[in-house]
Structure 1
Amino acid sequence: MLIVLNKTGDSPEEFGRRIGLSGMTIRRWLRKPEDGRIPRVYLPAIRETCLALVAEGRLDPALPEVQSLLFSVASSAGYMAALRNLGLGESFTQGRPVSRDQILSGLLQIGSQLPKQTDVEVRSSEVSAFKKLGEEWSSRITTLWNIVRSRKRDLPDKFIAYGALFYLLTPVDFIPDNIPFFGLIDDFAILGLAASYYTRKSAEIPGRR
């Protein structure tokens, strides 16, 4: 609770209004010992408020304390929060069949953001750890890493690879099922789709690596 308030800058009164409680109640909770428990009846409202704050861009979804609140929560606010986390626009297709090209377009949107690219680079060891899941996992991840680190490709040509690798690092429980395709497909399939995109592209342009 204290971390949420510090990160958003909300006063106890402002946060209390969001969840339907008085500022005095919030202040009383903040005075509890670290292991003091907030009554469970208020947790849904607190989760919903955190989702709304993430969707507004006022709360970092990567914070462990925030993720512990958001996991397994599905709602309209959850949809917006997940879009914010992935870096997709609010107009991303909702409730409709999604084609391969639309999926690649979504990965491109994710990978075009410098913070997402930086996250992939900084957490390269976490990405590489997924190679232990099997030979095909290793092959797909290696293909995408080779794209990211290639000196023969310009940055825009690497966006889909960055997007797929960032998706791999995104907690799956944070992506509601009502985000078409992204909420239902697993990391392995996303990696395969992105890797096959580059494989086909390289075949079209001989000598391209």
Structure 2
Amino acid sequence: MTKPSIIGLTGSIGMGKSTVAAMFEEAGVPVFDADAEVRALQGPGGELIPAIEEAFPGSTGPEGVIRDALGKIVFGDKEKLKKLEAIVHPAVALKRGKFLEEHKDAALILFDIPLLFEGSGHAAVDTIVVVSAPAEVQRERVLARPGMSVEKFEHIVGLQMPDAEKRARADHVIDTSTTLEETRAQVEALILELKASL
């Protein structure tokens, strides 16, 4: 029995990663969304709430993690951030392991990992797919989001690896500056190519 080939999907903010992940899912590729798992683990009744509250008193409430409160505690403090990551990362890895077990018969599995290169996620995947669009398209998309400011956008982009570097390190690039139909066609062509190479 061959094990599934793992696609690591990544891309900077506003590049259309969630849209592309949904297209893979619609095409029958199981998708593991690391961010969604973190939100569930830290949401109302989430498994990690007791451990996070113990480590960072006052950072959680009935709705789960109070993002602003936790952010203020760990932001800019490397040690505290490490402590938080030591709680979150193993739990997400456990969920990912279960997901792999559930989909062990699939030809392809997609891991949606926003900070694939910034973390060590790239070591756990077989193929890296980067979603990309020109900088002005990215900027326009992100600034259209509620509560987003130019400063916030520039701060986030500053923390992420530059798009050009991600594209250079990718096995495949999906251009999302086109229509949704054209993007979907790129996704479907890539799925066929990856299945053919198995």
Fold conserved between structures, TM > 0.5: no
Q: Larger helix proportion, structure 1 or 2?
A: 1
- Greater relative contact order structure (CA < 8 Å, 6+ sep): 2
Q: Larger strand proportion, structure 1 or 2?
A: 2
TM-score tier after normalising by the smaller chain length: under 0.3
When Rg is computed on C-alpha atoms for both structures, the one with the higher figure is 1
